[in-house]
Structure 1
Amino acid sequence: MLPSLLPLRDNLFSQVDAPADSAIDINQIAHTSGRPVLCVSTPPVQRDITSQPHFSTSCSDSAIRAHSAVPPSEENPGTTPSAATGSCQTISNSTTTIKSTTRPLPITQLNGTFQVPHIRIKNTRPYGGQFAPESMIGFLCDLNSNFEAIVSESSFWEEYSEFCRPQPTELYLAEGLTREAGGASIWLKREDQNEHGTHKTRHITGQLLLARRMGRLDVVADCASAKHGIFTAGLCRRLGLGCVIAMGEDDISAQPTGVRNMRDLGARIISARAPSGKGTLRAAITEALRYLVSHYQTAYYLIGGPLGPSPLPRLVRTFQALLGKEVSAQLQEIADPLPDAVITAIGSGSGAVGLFSTFINNPSVRLIGVEATNAATITHGERGVLHGAHTLLLQDEDGQILDSHSISPDMNISTVGPEIAEWKDSGRIEVFTATDTDALEGFRMLQQQEGISTGLDSAHAVAKTVQLSQELGPGRNVVLLVTGQDMIDVNRLREV
């Protein structure tokens, strides 16, 4: 049985949807085949339409720039892109009011009892929503209704406890790193001790159990780091689920051993490449969405990060939040109840939503993310739509998605979760960048000071953690999320 953790608070659930006790005024309804389809679940931004240019639309691998997005009106019907096919659908002038009620979502206390706290799901203003083709809407609606019903059952969480790791990973005092910094105590959340080397086991487990209960036995997942794909393929085999993993061509060639392990576990690998020629995580997500649209009646899309159309980000955050609760509970036993700062590398954001959500309502806790310099979506991104959600993107003046680069496969992406974008706009999180050289130095520092071989994603945040320790000074506590080592070919790594 998993150890006792505090119940998750209201803020642990995605803020992509509107408040549970309010009506949503939606005048963005797409009509296809004579049937209305909800495309956007966030209220439009009020703008002077006489001074705004028209919507720009193009293929599925491009964005709609926020400053050129005009709310639909009689003068301007507007358009919205198809997330998977690249087609566009005209938004009608309908002013239909749709009432949306969301029942409270439960979460286990993880000590054998189950609680169903009242949850008020907040609105994330311009971020999130559903920008999706009609063939995907059925899956999203099915997922939304089944998610709430299934996680309300105690039997689901009992089953979850059986498949989840029986003990939390260690919260470890990094004495060597702390001594090197000469400041605040540095604690490492040792997800590298997880036998799978990934912090994503929490939401992968939850989503696969959800897929089986929904009767969607054809699982498609995106993958950048092979360690995530190996865990997904292995659990799919245990649960009797089919497994298709979309992976960028560049990531496949860099991790041949991991890809071979996935195939040995029964996974079918789909190689993906973006129109620009880059075969990274962005291309993998696009390919997975394409597969979902083609198999909409039977497929379940296990998205790897808090991305995509609602409710996908909420699913990821709900299960990943257990990571932050573990840290909170462990700190109460060995140090101060609250850390002075928590820090993690940010790619798409699965680690950040899991770690930050527990402390988001405690302003005394600094929440710090570190991006790859050439994939710094939070730092340099602008609002736009990609992969079914409105969020921050790396894009050019025409709304075309810019290629990213990082030595870490999980950091090499041109977008970020909509909730993280909201946190950035609110000023709640601090974001910094690190180069490939910084990441390699961080990797070596952890090896030399602690004897730990971390993932290249976590390595991006090591130098900032040391700097933060020096800023805070002795008697303070900093927590760094550490993931397992990537399965990147050694020769490829030496070339970098």
Structure 2
Amino acid sequence: MTTTTKKGYFGEFGGSLVPAELQNVLDILEENFNKFKDDEDFNRELNYYFEEYVGRKSPLYFAENLTKQCGGAKIYLKREDLNHTGSHKINNVLGQILLAKRMGAKRVIAETGAGQHGVATATVCAMFGMDCTIYMGAEDTKRQALNVFRMELLGAKVVAVEKGQARLKDAVDEAFADLVENYENTFYLLGSAVGPHPFPTMVKHFQSVISKESKEQHLAKEGKLPTAVLACVGGGSNAIGAFAEYIDDEDVRLIGIEPDKAATMALGTPGDLHGFRCLVLQDEEGNPLPTYSIAAGLDYPGVGPEHSHLKTIGRAEYVTISNEEVLEGFQTLSKVEGIIPALESSHAVAHALKLAPTLSPEDSIIINISGRGDKDVEQVFEMLNK
């Protein structure tokens, strides 16, 4: 029932493990992506929207107060939270919607966990006049009720998925089921660097704008490359975007931070999930294990295939952070720098609070602030007042 292609592998991870009819759809998607990703007109339009609609370039901000408080390395923040819609998700969404437009799509579907990808997808669908359906775990619709309203305000239909744990994995399940049933007229705008080929490669391509900018900005400010780049990891889209341009720079440490109760990198083993091979939190029968994170966007039992590969070959480091440390990072950045980060991004902030003091003042680290914390304020208020 499945076909396996060797395209889209990162070492042993990746591939396309899907039913034959869906493979045909993915082949067409790959063909169009390869056709347009280096096309001059396509990139001119994409860059126009990056600058005029998203507000790129996002700043690389020297967090002077946080640096003084921590001691040690200089701390820089890549401000993806300042993008239109409030996160890095808009980068990939714009690239894919322009691709969908060129492919003649009229209907777009997407999955979302914390709601930021859903909001970004609903935003561009509104702008380009496309029908939009967003799948979201029922538990996440409660945690992120504000983002559900934003999606609906933008004209999207939000489907609350009650199956399984009613979280991100289950939303992805339903989105792929929709695609299998409606592939003839539907474009699946996948939000993370996961799924069957070409999705991980495509998402990395559009998110790599983060590290292209940060590398140029850091060289201008410091005259050298950073000591380390930090980013939270769930499926891994913001992290692979933040790492992309530094992968070949072996002196730059790449550090992904994940929740301790969804520690795919620490505890996962090779397995198949959502049509690709990656490190998975799974039982002896290969079934995905339940996960939990206070950050809905990181609540996923797998991880992107390139992250799985980077961990396996030792090019990137992956560490875990507790919920208590995340809340500390959330509050610290808010109080010290006047920047309220998303709970997802707070994982990276929390690790930076521990890492920076161990380095010298000659060192510098970049934290990818993947999203702003407006969506999480009510949730954090409730947690801190319990």
Does 2:66 align with 1:177?
Answer: yes
The one-letter code matched in structure 1 to 2:3 is C
Q: Which position in structure 2 is the counterpart of 1:236?
A: 125
1:226 equivalent among 92, 109, 115: 115
The one-letter code matched in structure 1 to 2:18 is A
- After TM superposition, the structure 1 = structure 2 runs for residues 135-174 of structure 1, keeping only pairs within 5 Å, are 135-164=21-50, 165-174=54-63
Alignment partners' CA distance in 2, 1:463 and 1:492:
15
Moved more, 450-459 or 260-269: 260-269
Does 2:296 align with 1:442?
Answer: no
Do 2:270 and 2:280's aligned partners in 1 also have CA atoms closer than 8 Å?
yes
Offset at residue 166 of structure 1 (A): 4.2
Which structure has the larger Rg? 1
Change (3 A) 1:148 1:130: same
Does 2:160 align with 1:271?
Answer: yes
Alignment partners' CA distance in 2, 1:491 and 1:473:
36
Offset at residue 263 of structure 1 (A): 1.0
SS at match of 1:358: helix
Offset at residue 133 of structure 1 (A): 1.3
Deviations, residues 289-325 of structure 1 (Å, cap 9, x unaligned) = 0110110101111111011111111110011111100
SS at match of 1:400: coil
Deviations, residues 179-215 of structure 1 (Å, cap 9, x unaligned) = 1111010001111222311112111100011011011
- After TM superposition, the structure 1 = structure 2 runs for residues 10-159 of structure 1, keeping only pairs within 5 Å, are 39-42=3-6, 123-159=9-45
Change (3 A) 1:195 1:360: same
Alignment partners' CA distance in 2, 1:287 and 1:492:
29
Alignment partners' CA distance in 1, 2:353 and 2:154:
39
Offset at residue 470 of structure 1 (A): 1.4
Gaps of 5+ in 2: none
Do 1:254 and 1:492's aligned partners in 2 also have CA atoms closer than 8 Å?
no
Offset at residue 217 of structure 1 (A): 1.8
Does 2:347 align with 1:460?
Answer: yes
Alignment partners' CA distance in 1, 2:380 and 2:368:
25
- After TM superposition, the structure 1 = structure 2 runs for residues 354-393 of structure 1, keeping only pairs within 5 Å, are 354-393=241-280
Alignment partners' CA distance in 2, 1:234 and 1:331:
31
SS at match of 1:427: coil
Do 1:328 and 1:337's aligned partners in 2 also have CA atoms closer than 8 Å?
no
The one-letter code matched in structure 1 to 2:44 is E
SS at match of 1:300: strand
- After TM superposition, the structure 1 = structure 2 runs for residues 474-485 of structure 1, keeping only pairs within 5 Å, are 474-482=361-369, 483-485=371-373
Do 2:310 and 2:316's aligned partners in 1 also have CA atoms closer than 8 Å?
yes
2:230 equivalent among 343, 358, 368: 343
1:318 equivalent among 186, 205, 212: 205
SS at match of 2:13: coil
Do 2:143 and 2:379's aligned partners in 1 also have CA atoms closer than 8 Å?
no
The one-letter code matched in structure 2 to 1:161 is N
The one-letter code matched in structure 2 to 1:191 is E
Do 2:121 and 2:189's aligned partners in 1 also have CA atoms closer than 8 Å?
no
Moved more, 482-491 or 346-355: 482-491
Q: Which position in structure 2 is the counterpart of 1:118?
A: none
SS at match of 1:216: coil
Change (3 A) 1:489 1:458: closer
Moved more, 409-418 or 485-494: 485-494
Alignment partners' CA distance in 2, 1:217 and 1:392:
34
Offset at residue 40 of structure 1 (A): 1.1
Alignment partners' CA distance in 2, 1:493 and 1:439:
14
Deviations, residues 331-359 of structure 1 (Å, cap 9, x unaligned) = 12111331011111111100111011111
Offset at residue 222 of structure 1 (A): 0.6
Alignment partners' CA distance in 2, 1:310 and 1:357:
18
SS at match of 1:361: coil
Offset at residue 493 of structure 1 (A): 4.9
Do 1:187 and 1:477's aligned partners in 2 also have CA atoms closer than 8 Å?
yes
Offset at residue 379 of structure 1 (A): 0.9
The one-letter code matched in structure 2 to 1:431 is Y
Offset at residue 161 of structure 1 (A): 1.8
- After TM superposition, the structure 1 = structure 2 runs for residues 358-437 of structure 1, keeping only pairs within 5 Å, are 358-437=245-324
Deviations, residues 142-170 of structure 1 (Å, cap 9, x unaligned) = 10111111223211111112222343111
- After TM superposition, the structure 1 = structure 2 runs for residues 185-224 of structure 1, keeping only pairs within 5 Å, are 185-224=74-113
Q: TM-score with structure 2 length normalisation?
A: 0.95
2:219 equivalent among 298, 316, 332: 332
SS at match of 1:334: helix
Alignment partners' CA distance in 2, 1:454 and 1:489:
10
Moved more, 206-215 or 162-171: 162-171
Alignment partners' CA distance in 2, 1:308 and 1:139:
14
Do 1:254 and 1:489's aligned partners in 2 also have CA atoms closer than 8 Å?
no
Alignment partners' CA distance in 1, 2:173 and 2:223:
43
Q: Which structure dedicates a bigger proportion of its chain to helix?
A: 2
Offset at residue 451 of structure 1 (A): 1.0
Identity of aligned residues (%): 36
Do 2:210 and 2:242's aligned partners in 1 also have CA atoms closer than 8 Å?
yes
| CA RMSD, 1 decimal | 1.6
SS at match of 2:25: helix
- After TM superposition, the structure 1 = structure 2 runs for residues 301-316 of structure 1, keeping only pairs within 5 Å, are 301-316=188-203
Q: Which position in structure 2 is the counterpart of 1:76?
A: none
Instruction: Find runs of 4+ consecutive structure 1 residues off by over 3 angstroms.
Output: none
State how many pairs are aligned: 380
The one-letter code matched in structure 2 to 1:148 is N
